[in-house]
Structure 1
Amino acid sequence: MAAALVLQQALAPRLRTGDAEITVVEPQPYLTYHPLLAEVAAGSIDPRHVVVPLRKVLPHCRVLTARITRIDHAGRTAQVDTAPRGAAAEPAELAYDHLILTPGSVSRTDPVPGLADHGLGFGSVGEAVALRNHVLEQLDLASSTRDPELRQAALTFLFVGAGYAGVGALAELEDMARYAVRGYHNLTADDLRWVLVEATDRILPQESADLAAHTLAELRERSIDVHLGTTLESAADRVMALSDGSRFAARTLVWTAGVRPAPLLRDTDLPLDPTGRVRCLPTLQVRGPGGTPLAGAWAAGDCAAVPDPAADGALCAPNAQHALAQARLLAENLLADLDHGALAAYRPERIHCSTSLGLGRAVAHTRRGRLTGRRAWWLHRARHLRRLPSLDRRVRVFTDWLLGGLFSREVVSLGTVEHPRAEFESGFLERP
């Protein structure tokens, strides 16, 4: 979707004169700004303020709220399913001249027993809101139950995957829960147990070693139990079994252990690499037979296997920073290709990342080195405020942060929102 936004801006003059038409096909009618999902889960930002309606920010594009089920690039056609999920309908055929693939990625799951039954994802606004409600509901359960084993399981929170998403979500929710327990007469922050499991030997693998080490030290200082070089072996019956021999009961299991390319790519005739991403040239054109460009096919973001010249032939990591930079270059190269001009190769600049660790705490990488604490937190917020794709959303998010600084946290669970018909349906079950 980032590519669509950039392309619309770059092609706006041609779109207004009718020389080009962009059709955007997306199952959801909005763009989600994923880096702020952790703050949505913590209640620092209203969920509506990290999504942008596509029709509003793409006024010159034709937006279809639908799913692509098949792409036949040889015939320059795509099959589009406009029916709601679960409904049957005959797919429509959409013809095109240029194909631009930016479907992103989905959570990478492993065949861990119990994961499908008890795991929670963290890749959408809905999942962020559901996780917030779930954590607050566990505090209510622990406060009201008389079963000590159930109480301990409700107060144990396991996160699998220590990338930016996992570390940010855990730190924000731990900070929120630490504040929330002040309202319970029989709970304290020391009763909470937070566990982070990472299969590799370090957290934040895309960050510098010194900043990752600092983040690890801060998490452990907050009594967060971090297991490195460890995997989740089983979650059956809500009993978490780790590869290092640890076993404990937990009612919260959050899975943020990496991503995989969107399943849509398997239903195309485009060349894929072993990981399932589309093979691309440095110009972001799809790589055809013999290393030549595949005419009319482009890709960017998490779905694209783009060579990274700064990494000795390795491919660019699937993250938001590369996706945004590639989208800008793709727009420029597409315009150049339409004008029969020369195309530029993707040469990423140094990516300066950051992540929030709760109110007033963050870690950030800058041109001068690492930054931690409150200064990093301000920098983190400033970066993402600038990157939000809509002025309207920037103002709304800034207002959320401003109000959050003036008033106390909102720690109310709205779990009933996830099942709005439950109470209505119960009225039929209670009839004599």
Structure 2
Amino acid sequence: MTERRVVITGMEVLAPGGVGTKNFWSLLSEGRTATRRITFFDPSPFRSKVAAEIDFDPYEHGLGPQEIRRMDRAAQLAVVAARGAVADSGIELTELDPYRVGVTVGSAVGATMGLDQEYRVVSDGGRLDLVDHTYAPPHLYSHLVPSSFAAEVAWAVGAEGPTAVVSTGCTSGIDSVGHAIELIREGSADVMVAGSSDAPISPITMACFDAIKATTPRHDAPECASRPFDGTRNGFVLGEGAAIFVLEELQSAKRRRAHIYAEIAGYATRSNAYHMTGLRPDGAEMAEAITVALDEARMNVESIDYINAHGSGTKQNDRHETAAFKKSLGEHAYRTPVSSIKSMVGHSLGAIGSIEIAASALAMEYNVVPPTANLHTPDPECDLDYVPLTARSQRTDAVLTVGSGFGGFQSAMVLARPERSAA
């Protein structure tokens, strides 16, 4: 049986700094940042007061009053992104067998904003020990169960095939796409609408990360707060966003003369079974995921032209990643540009992996490596080429993108031009 190769033929990105894929790429290629003081609520009681928010109006993007009332903000972002990805792909889903079209959506924290807001209502601002359920809207249950995200996207695009939510913390955005490509490869689906969404900028989320001091307390210049690989970094900047893709089998895409952004040539995920938030300094489990993803893609380390790093901006993570790249790629790691787009769009938890897949595909599309913003004082222990401050023009045929999440999750994905990867 001939192996089914999976390609990206449509995408839409909703990210801080500009809604839509075009605006997203403009921000990255120009090295601009979208981090600012939180506006969604009063952040003054919190240790970290900055975030990367999206200026998103659901009405402007075609959602009706009932959809807006029913869906949490993260679900709204997912649905708008899914509709945009399908339109971008040019595929006519209504002409396909709906049982052969599936959906996977990644999310780390589900309907955090909706649950936070509704709890304030049913508890009368926290004054009631026993909440008053009569004030709860009928759609509150859909905020509780993250599976509602996948259901909403499936309804929006008319998909009746395999449908799932993947929630593996901060690797959810890679893992949801990884799950989708396996469904196509094994023949369970012909087309997958896949990606991730998270909208976690709420008081409860800020309190959670404040408790473990994972987010930055740098408030004086919010636009410079996210500093991956910089010696002065002191935590990540929380963000929000969504990226959804249309994935299909390569030959099918060619037959309909679809625009192909990239082939997803290899994917792997591993866990360190070590610590909820701690990382082994040698990066062994991430290195293992990278090696397996390259093996699946039938590519050697010298094929990688660019690494889209997790690059959260915590000292532990950035050093762990650097070690993993050296362990898996050897000397080639020193010759390969690496950058973190979290320096510009923050860390949107479960969504960021898909957003970074989009950035990787666009780096290939335009032969431009996005920069690591705010990198002025490199950490001596992070001694690779992190493309500081300014984007770099470079022929890019294959990209490695990685993710690292609380719980020890480590995922890697290889994107390549179809003609570059093995048949």
Larger Rg: 1
TM-score range, shorter chain: under 0.3
TM-score (norm 1): 0.25
TM-score (norm 2): 0.26
Q: Highest relative contact order (Cα 8 Å, sep 6+), 1 or 2?
A: 2
